[in-house]
Amino acid sequence: MFEKLKAQPADKILMLMQMYREDPRDTKIDLGVGVYKNAEGVTPVMRAIKAAEHRLWEEQQTKAYVGLAGDPAFSDAMIQLILADAVPRNNVAAAATPGGTGAVRQAFELIQMANPDARVFVSNPTWPNHLSILNYLGIETVSYRYFDAETRGVDFEGMLADLKGVRRGDVVLLHGCCHNPTGANLNLVEWAAVIDVLNAAGAIPMVDIAYQGFGDGLEADAEATRLVASSVPECLIAASCSKNFGIYRERTGLLMAISQDTSAHALNQDTLAFLNRQNFSFPPDHGARLVTMILNDADLRADWARELEDVRLSMLSLRQDLADELQRLTGSDRFAFLAQHRGMFSRLGASPELVEQLRTQHGIYMIGDSRMNIAGLNAKTIPILARAIVDVGV
């Protein structure tokens, strides 16, 4: 049997990590891996997580399974964090998943189950795993324009034109904030226009929100998702706790299925539990329980929010410093978009050939489409990166 297996394409990020590790240069810079790092290059455990883990160690009495959909208290806390009062709680079915990736996978499985003919519209570009999972499941995908290579902003006219091709029952995948990989986001007026197009066609939005709190703040980053949830008959939301709680390895996520028809709640909830059973049975609980403890404890929540805000402001400062240094070196404001983007990532707009030159000549490691992790920078490496960008002629 095994001899019939075919080699799968190598993961570009893992390949990049390996090349970085083998590079002997002291000035090398890792901007590839999508993980937050502080100025010392460490992905820290947040203070509130440490405190919650200590409390959990002292208080937890069992490691027995949770329910198929996870602890309801986790769902309640996350729904409140993301949606607030945008929709009534009994309109939202929810299930815990192994990370945001698990939530995305379960959402795609639900789409396939509910409507095998549905097409999923995906931004160009998007997080590569979106397309990888969709292709693996055999779901038809349609690309819509998103990133303007000239302005390094959103090609909104192109996006709207492409979305007018959606049909009733199609699903449109949208990034709730901090678009990965570009860092370019829609404003609320543009979000409202997208919602109008989807409602007119009878298409269903699916929001992937993985970076709440990394862009303009916890509340501002949730505004678009709340607008979608309150403005459409049905939608899906896949959420991740990896970034804003710093619990990457705990694999903590949530899938929500929202319907304005309250009578659909029971069926939606049962379907999410059924899908969990088919894929992994009971979801992991450790990270989910820590998140629940933090969100439901005033002191822990306040400390978590303060530290998350420090992380956000740090990334904004790195963005501004890099844009300023490039302006100083070039005498041009053509890199001002770096300060306008939000989240961990920006797409520099360099060709794969120039990205390769950045790696071979300067030890700058970023994805071939020129997505770079802003959190991989610090005060020492910003001038090195800026000089390299100018040197290769980006």
What is the crossing angle of helices 47-59 and 298-330, to 10°?
150
Which residue is catalytic, options 51, 69, 210, 238?
210
Note if 210 is an active site residue. yes
Which among 375, 342, 347 is positioned nearest to 33, based on CA atoms?
375
- Find residue 95's DSSP bridge partners: 255
The answer to whether residue 164 is catalytic is: no
Contact 286, 71 (CB under 8 A): no
CB 185 within 8 A of CB 154: yes
Q: How many angstroms separate the CA atoms of 65 and 312, rounded?
A: 35
321 assigned to active site: no
- Residue whose structure tokens are 């990270």: 287
392's tokens: 């290769």
Catalytic residue among 127, 155, 229, 323: 127
List CB contacts of 196: < 8 A, sequence separation 6 or more: none
**127 classed as catalytic:** yes
**Catalytic, out of 52, 95, 96, 243:** 243
What is the C-alpha separation between 258 and 333, in angstroms, rounded? 43
Which of 155, 162, 208, 369 does the annotation list as catalytic? 208
The dihedral region occupied by 213, where left means phi > 0, alpha psi between -120 and 50, and beta the remainder, is: left
Residue 340 CB-density burial (10 A; 0-12 exposed, 13-18 middle, 19+ buried): middle
Active-site residues, by number, are 127, 208, 210, 243
